[in-house]
């Protein structure tokens, strides 16, 4: 008759152990998820500053985020719903940071594109993509310097007709075996420049909303 209480005590002990273990695992997962989210935010903030032109790039992240705007959906930059952009100003200089979506070989390619009031590119960075590793991923800054070629470019330098990859008669390098990917990025950046040229007066005067 003493066996049943022992079994009950063992079962209770196992149940408590399972509850404690589940709590520890859940807590660890929550901390891990929070740490991952913080790292992602830090990376996004770093990229926001990297696409700004010289003279604005050293602004603190808080100053960049304070210039957040909400813009209406625009197919020109691949945004099908209203989206957030950023306007950064200092000492008479101003630039926009636009999130732009290109359609690559493996799916959407998400970009940040920085453009100053004169229509010159401060820089371009890829934030997310699904391109083939080893073929299309040189669009990432950590994989190659290819993305740096956009800095300082505009719709007149090179001329609009040269805004293409070299296999298409343009000025931008392509990748061996992966022409679709760089072509998509070049086209998306040119369309972002077109968008700012057409809407610049509104974009550079739209009310800011803050972080």
Domain ranges of the chain: 51-203
pLDDT at 12 over 60: no
Q: What is the per-residue pLDDT across 132-174, written as a single tens digit (0 to 9) for each?
A: 999 999 999 999 999 999 999 999 999 999 999 999 999 999 9
Confidence check: pLDDT of 20 > 90: no
Q: What is the pLDDT of residues 31-90, one digit of tens each?
A: 677 777 667 667 777 889 999 998 899 998 888 889 999 999 999 999 999 999 999 999
What local confidence, expressed as pLDDT, does residue 45 receive? 78
Distances (CA, A) of 84 to 96, 146, 175, 210: 11, 26, 31, 11
Altogether, the residues listed in the chain come to a count of 211
* Mean pLDDT in residue range 24-34: 68
Please provide residue 85's backbone torsions phi and psi, each rounded to the nearest 5 degrees.
-135, 180
Give CA–CA dist 76/30, Å, rounded. Answer: 38
Q: How far is CA 62 from CA 59, 66, 67, 86, 126, in A?
A: 8, 6, 9, 12, 21
User: What separation in angstroms does the CA of 165 have from each of 60, 78, 181, 182, 205?
Assistant: 35, 20, 10, 7, 34
162 near 154, Cβ under 8 Å?
Answer: no
pLDDT tier for residue 211 given thresholds of 50, 70 and 90? low
**172, 187 in Cβ contact below 8 A?**
no
pLDDT of residue 23: 63
Q: What is the pLDDT of residue 157?
A: 96
pLDDT for residue 71: 95
pLDDT more than 90, % of the chain? 65
Give the model's pLDDT for residue 16: 60
115's enclosing H/E stretch is strand 108-116
N-to-C CA span, the chain: 68
The pLDDT-based confidence of 209 (bands split at 50, 70, 90) is confident
Query: Between residues 85 and 210, which one has the greater pLDDT?
Result: 85
Mean pLDDT of 13-26: 62
Q: Give pLDDT, residue 37.
A: 65
pLDDT at 186 over 80: yes
Q: How far apart are CA 134 and CA 199, in angstroms?
A: 37
């Amino acid at each position: 008759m003493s066996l049943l209480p022992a079994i009950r005590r063992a079962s209770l002990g196992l149940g408590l152990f399972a509850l404690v273990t589940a709590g520890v695992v859940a807590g660890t997962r929550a901390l891990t998820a929070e740490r991952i989210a913080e790292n992602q935010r830090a990376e996004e903030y770093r990229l926001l500053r990297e696409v700004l032109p010289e003279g604005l790039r050293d602004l603190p992240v808080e100053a960049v985020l304070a210039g957040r705007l909400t813009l209406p959906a625009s197919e020109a930059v691949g945004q099908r719903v209203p989206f957030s952009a950023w306007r950064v100003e200092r000492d008479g200089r101003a630039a926009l940071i636009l999130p732009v979506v290109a359609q690559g070989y493996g799916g959407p390619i998400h970009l940040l594109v920085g453009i100053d009031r004169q229509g010159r590119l401060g820089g371009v960075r890829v934030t997310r993509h699904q391109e083939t590793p080893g073929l299309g991923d040189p669009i990432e800054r950590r994989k190659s310097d290819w993305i740096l070629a956009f800095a300082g470019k505009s719709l007149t330098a090179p001329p609009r007709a040269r805004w293409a990859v070299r296999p298409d008669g343009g000025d931008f390098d392509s990748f061996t075996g992966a022409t679709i990917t760089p072509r998509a990025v070049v086209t998306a950046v040119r369309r972002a420049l077109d968008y700012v040229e057409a809407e610049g007066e509104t974009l550079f005067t739209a009310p800011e909303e803050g972080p």
